[in-house]
Chain A
Amino acid sequence: MRDVDVAIIGGGPAGLAAALGAKKAGADKVLVIERDRELGGILNQCIHNGFGLHTFKEELTGPEYSARFIKEVLSGDIETSLGTMVLELGSDRVLKAVSASGIQEIRAKAVVLSMGCRERPRGALNIPGSRPSGIMTAGTAQKFVNIDGLMPGREAVILGSGDIGLIMARRLALEGAHVAAVAELMPHSSGLKRNIVQCLDDFGIPLMLSHTVVGIFGKDRLEGVSIAQVDSSLRPVPGTEKLFPCDTLLLSVGLIPENELSKMAGVKLSPDTGGPIVNESFETSAPGVFACGNALHVHDLVDFVSEEAQEAGENAAAYAFGEAFSGSSAEVVPGNGVRYVMPFSINPKKVKNNMTLRLRVTAEKRNAALVVKMDGEQVLKRKKMVFAPGEMETISLSGELFAKRPNISRIEVSLEDK
């Protein structure tokens, strides 16, 4: 058994920023445990540009963005364990990890959960048909092409128009494959407008809204898929099926925070985010266990992951030094038109300069406003031309609002007409 101040599980963008935050806050022994052979996480395979606009005021590719953090971590007296996977985590913050050199037990004063997220697989969709090779998630294909230098196929169909699916449509087209179509169950895409224009329109790839894959054909290798239109209750309309011959089907149908270890440690999860329920300090229901990044809730921008994770790391260091994060808190509640608000509770006494709320709306709404109420009293109203579920919203509440109301019990955020 060895002891560390802060153990960070996962060396992707969240883990890297958390490590820097913990170190900056004065933690002595900071350990980053990464399962892969290198740091950087999913950014290693996100070779397209568009990262870091908020943080660095320039557009970087994924590997360039992570390299800036990796450089700081490696020069910052932070220990990293690569090729090491955490198998167990207890609520006592003792963790068991395995690597080529065997099993080790680590006792941490504080733990940061930064395991990222996973893609929803075929099994979660109930698509009827055979089980040939050639069907994979968009992220798996992304790893094949961008890291292993292998093409998954020559004729592709993509189900789901999330950003990874759109990015992969362009990537396959650039590498000489033909992308026949992107089918999207919903009447709108959850992907960014920029990706629809630059990844599909630029390459003449059709986006079929209100369509889904209803059949899969082929024995050893995928030979084709059948795509049908769906009605307003998302059920396939009989007679609209169309066969698309293809050898590859990519799935881009949602991301789920990865929390097997969190559950093991007794951390309470939210059904709305799939991630841990945290307070204003990113502490989960298990004292001394903090969460950030896509393991906490799925982000669209890595810049926000880095911001959040740095704070989580700072707080983990503070916990390791003996600061307690419990105490009477106001619950944060999603009101009308809001799917979830992060964090789930706020202790007004822990709010420093200001408090950032991050949230997603349930459906697209134009000419609307986000309204924040503290114990029924409206304290903030932010108008915008359009709110969309695919874009995480950020609200900053001044520390003054909390200083004046040290005993509030309820903060509600809702989406209202302008």
Chain B
Amino acid sequence: MKIICVNCPMGCPMEVQVSGQEISVSGNACSRGAAYAKTECVNPVRMVATTVKLKNAAIAALPVKTAKPVPKGKIFDCVKALKGVEVCAPISIGDIIVPNCAGTGVDIVATKNVGFAG
């Protein structure tokens, strides 16, 4: 499996070999690369940041994110689960907007404080 390291501008092109429990990484210039390649190979995860519709506020969209990184393959499931979700101000950072999004066990939380503006 080929993985490009994202830790620094070197962008080492790494090759990861998995045989049973053994994961070997080559092409990395430092240990951070090896650690990244292993995670990326076994369980790649990403934070998802997007918006939901917002009512009673000066802005039309409320920024939200997954409270923790979710599996890479679940990114679109999370975004789809938020389609049609609409919330009303006031909202505080950390408010849970959708619990357990798309069965990931991870909540979608607000990332902005928004006051009421009727």
Contact = CB atoms under 8 A, between A and B. Distances in A.
Interface of A: 37-38, 44, 47-49, 59-61, 63-64, 67, 145-150, 171, 174-175, 192-194, 196-198, 201-202, 364, 366, 385-388, 390-391
The range of chain B's interface size is 20 to 34
Contacts of B5: 193
B6 interface: yes
Nearest to B46: A198
Interface of B: 4-11, 29-30, 46-51, 53-54, 58-61, 63, 65, 72, 75-76, 79, 93, 111-113
B79 A49 contact: no
Given A67-B112, A364-B9, A388-B9, 9 more contacts: A37-B58, A38-B58, A47-B111, A67-B93, A147-B60, A149-B51, A171-B50, A175-B79, A387-B9
Contacts of B63: 47, 61, 63, 146
A59 B9 contact: no
B6 A385 contact: no
B79 A193 contact: no
A63 B54 CA distance: 16
Given A47-B49, A49-B65, A388-B9, A61 B111 contact: yes
A146 B29 CA distance: 38
Contacts of B10: 193, 366, 385-386
B61 A197 contact: no
Top 10 nearest A-B pairs by Cβ distance? A149-B61, A47-B63, A388-B9, A194-B6, A149-B60, A63-B112, A193-B11, A61-B111, A386-B10, A48-B49
A146 to B, nearest CB: 6
13 contacts: A38-B58, A61-B65, A63-B111, A63-B112, A67-B113, A148-B59, A192-B6, A192-B9, A193-B7, A194-B6, A386-B9, A390-B9, A391-B9
Contacts of B4: 193, 196-197, 201
A48 B47 CA distance: 9
A390 B11 CA distance: 13
Given A38-B58, A197-B4, A49 B49 contact: yes
Given A193-B4, A194-B6, A197-B6, A47 B59 contact: no
A64 B112 CA distance: 6
Contacts of A48: 49
Nearest to A61: B111
A388 B93 CA distance: 35
A47 B112 CA distance: 9
* Chief secondary structure at chain B's binding surface: loop
A192 B7 CA distance: 9
B47 A49 contact: yes
B61 A146 contact: yes
Nearest to B64: A47
Nearest to B47: A49
A310 B73 CA distance: 41
A175 B78 CA distance: 12
B6 A193 contact: yes
Contacts of B7: 193-194
B28 to A, nearest CB: 11
A391 B8 CA distance: 9
Given A174-B75, A174-B79, A385 B8 contact: yes
Contacts of B112: 44, 63-64, 67
Contacts of A63: 63, 93, 111-112
Contact of B9 (A171, A175, A193, A202): A193
B72 A202 contact: yes
Nearest to A195: B6
Contacts of B29: 385
Chain B CB count within 10 A is highest, among A59, A149, A150, A388, for: A149
Contacts of B72: 202
Nearest to A71: B113
A49 B111 CA distance: 10
B57 to A, nearest CB: 11
